[in-house]
Amino acid sequence: MLKITSLITATMLLSSCSSTVEELYQKVLPKPSVVTVEDGTQGAEENVIAPDSSSFKSQNYKGTYDRSGSKQSPVQVAEENFRASGVKFVLYFAYDGSEIDESATQEIIKHANFMRDNPTLKLRLEGHADERGTREYNLALGENRALVVKEVLGLYGHGSRIEVISFGEESPISQKHEESAWQKNRRVEFIYK
């Protein structure tokens, strides 16, 4: 992979030169190794170039097409089906709290089962807070909320596939300065990658 990247970089940098592509390949590719062969009667040197036996099979992922006509990856299809099942991708929290109630626990278990069934998925938990409190306090509160959710998912063995990030009060859903808006802003969002 590094050789390919180097080759592409060299090609782009030297594209304005008068050299041909073949000359660039000769400059970048490694030289064949020389091996001394001893057959008992005489010593001889010969070039040994190992034949390339690598094969690259295309990954035949089956996706679907969305409404715009672009192909969706299997991850996108799985997530779309998961969303259609009615599971919540946002958990809301009480003022100044990070406790998880019974209904939130049930939603987290659904996410744990989804991750179990899709072992290549990674999850980012984004913690948020309302505007009340200092910026630093809200960042810590958003992180604590996401860490509590990660802790529950970790009980199902998914902790290593989960990233936690806190936005504190920086990404509110509602800009209003009243309790109904603050309730929407105290949340953890599930973002699959």
* 11 vs 102, residue with greater confidence: 102
On the question of pLDDT at 173 being above 80, the answer is yes
Confidence of residue 66 (pLDDT cuts 50, 70, 90): low
Q: What confidence score (pLDDT) does residue 28 get?
A: 47
Shared domain for 22 and 112, answered yes or no, is no
**CA distance linking residue 68 with residue 64, whole number of Å:** 11
**CA distance linking residue 92 with residue 75, whole number of Å:** 25
**CA distance linking residue 139 with residue 128, whole number of Å:** 8
Q: What confidence score (pLDDT) does residue 128 get?
A: 95
Shared domain for 32 and 92, answered yes or no, is no
On the question of pLDDT at 193 being above 90, the answer is no
Return the C-alpha torsion angle 149, 75, 71, 81, nearest 10. -70
Q: Is 55 inside a domain boundary?
A: no
Structural domain span for residue 119: 64-192
Shared domain for 71 and 138, answered yes or no, is yes
Whole-number mean pLDDT of the chain? 75
Shared domain for 18 and 106, answered yes or no, is no
On the question of pLDDT at 192 being above 60, the answer is yes
* 100 vs 180, residue with greater confidence: 100
Confidence of residue 10 (pLDDT cuts 50, 70, 90): low
Shared domain for 79 and 156, answered yes or no, is yes
Shared domain for 19 and 74, answered yes or no, is no
Confidence of residue 76 (pLDDT cuts 50, 70, 90): confident
Angle at 106 between CA 100 and CA 107, to 5 degrees: 85
Shared domain for 40 and 80, answered yes or no, is no
On the question of pLDDT at 70 being above 90, the answer is no
**CA distance linking residue 173 with residue 183, whole number of Å:** 10
Shared domain for 36 and 82, answered yes or no, is no
Which CATH number belongs to the domain containing residue 93 in this structure?
3.30.1330.60
Query: Which residue pairs, CB below 8 angstroms and at least 24 apart, start in 56-65?
Result: none
On the question of pLDDT at 169 being above 90, the answer is no
Shared domain for 111 and 166, answered yes or no, is yes
Q: Is 53 inside a domain boundary?
A: no
On the question of pLDDT at 78 being above 70, the answer is yes
Q: What confidence score (pLDDT) does residue 140 get?
A: 95
Structural domain total, the chain: 2
Shared domain for 76 and 109, answered yes or no, is yes
What mean pLDDT do residues 48-54 have?
A: 41
CA–centroid distance for 92 within its chain: 24
Shared domain for 83 and 16, answered yes or no, is no
Residues 6+ apart with CB under 8 A from 49: 32
On the question of pLDDT at 57 being above 50, the answer is no
- Residues 90-149: tens digit of each pLDDT: 999 998 888 999 999 999 999 999 999 888 889 999 999 998 989 999 999 999 999 999
pTM, two decimals, is 0.60
Shared domain for 79 and 42, answered yes or no, is no
